[in-house]
């Protein structure tokens, strides 16, 4: 197993249409999932960009901040998601949920979609900073925020 040094990672969860949904609804769910994955994992996807930051540059207490993108979550799931998950001390990791739907992403132009991704990630970094401070982690959040912002500005 290769031990990478990325402080950020990405995860995408796509809510599939109900089994009794019409074919058009099922196709739309599949299409939106594929479209969003391209914004995350394609050659110029956001995950490739943010993975350039090496966790060793920011401290020892945080090994992974995982951006968890939930595509069109069912209302119950969307309500259950926290703004940011609890810090997992044993794993030295934290999950950062971001809800993606028609209103904030799929109805937008390409540049607005990238703006949404950039803004969402930077807003969530503020929440991460609060967790780091509360848990007294050694993570240099000012440097991490600055580096991430610079990379996102160049990227988008």
SS3 state at 54:
strand
Q: How confident is the model at residue 55 (pLDDT cuts 50, 70, 90)?
A: very high
- Short-list 101, 96, 92, 22, CA closest to 55: 92
CA 59 → CA 5, 33, 54, 132, 141, distances in Å?
12, 34, 10, 11, 9
Per DSSP, the three-state class of 22 is coil
C-alpha span between 80 and 68 (Å, rounded): 14
pLDDT of 16 over the 90 cut? no
Q: What is the DSSP letter of 19?
A: T
Q: Give the per-residue pLDDT at 102.
A: 96
Tokens 């600055």 belong to: 146
Structure tokens at 76: 């119950």
**Residue 59 confidence (pLDDT) above 90:** yes
Q: DSSP secondary-structure letter at 106?
A: I
pLDDT band at 2; cut points 50, 70, 90: very low
Mean pLDDT of 11-37: 91
* pLDDT over 70 (residue 156): no
For the segment 106-147, what is each residue's pLDDT rounded down to a tens digit? 999 999 999 999 999 999 999 999 999 999 999 999 999 999
Q: What is the pLDDT of residues 89-104, one digit of tens each?
A: 999 999 999 999 999 9
> Is this model's pTM higher than 0.85 or not?
yes
pLDDT at 78: 85
Short-list 68, 129, 62, CA closest to 91: 62
Q: Determine the pLDDT at residue 1.
A: 35
93 within 8 A of 125, measured Cβ to Cβ: no
Range list of β-strands (E), 1-89: 8-14, 64-71
């Amino acid at each position: 197993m290769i031990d990478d040094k990325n402080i950020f990672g990405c995860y995408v969860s796509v809510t599939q249409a109900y089994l009794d949904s019409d074919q058009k609804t099922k196709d739309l769910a599949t299409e939106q999932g594929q479209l969003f994955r391209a914004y995350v994992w394609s050659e110029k996807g956001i995950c490739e960009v943010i993975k350039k930051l090496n966790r060793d540059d920011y401290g020892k207490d945080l090994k992974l901040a995982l951006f968890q993108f939930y595509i069109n979550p069912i209302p119950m799931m969307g309500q259950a998601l926290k703004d940011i998950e609890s810090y997992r001390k044993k794993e030295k990791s934290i999950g950062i949920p971001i809800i993606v739907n028609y209103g904030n992403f799929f109805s937008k132009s390409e540049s607005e979609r990238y703006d949404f991704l950039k803004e969402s990630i930077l807003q969530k970094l503020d929440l991460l900073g609060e967790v780091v401070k509360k848990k007294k982690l050694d993570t240099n959040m000012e440097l991490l925020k600055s580096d991430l912002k610079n990379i996102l500005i160049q990227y988008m």
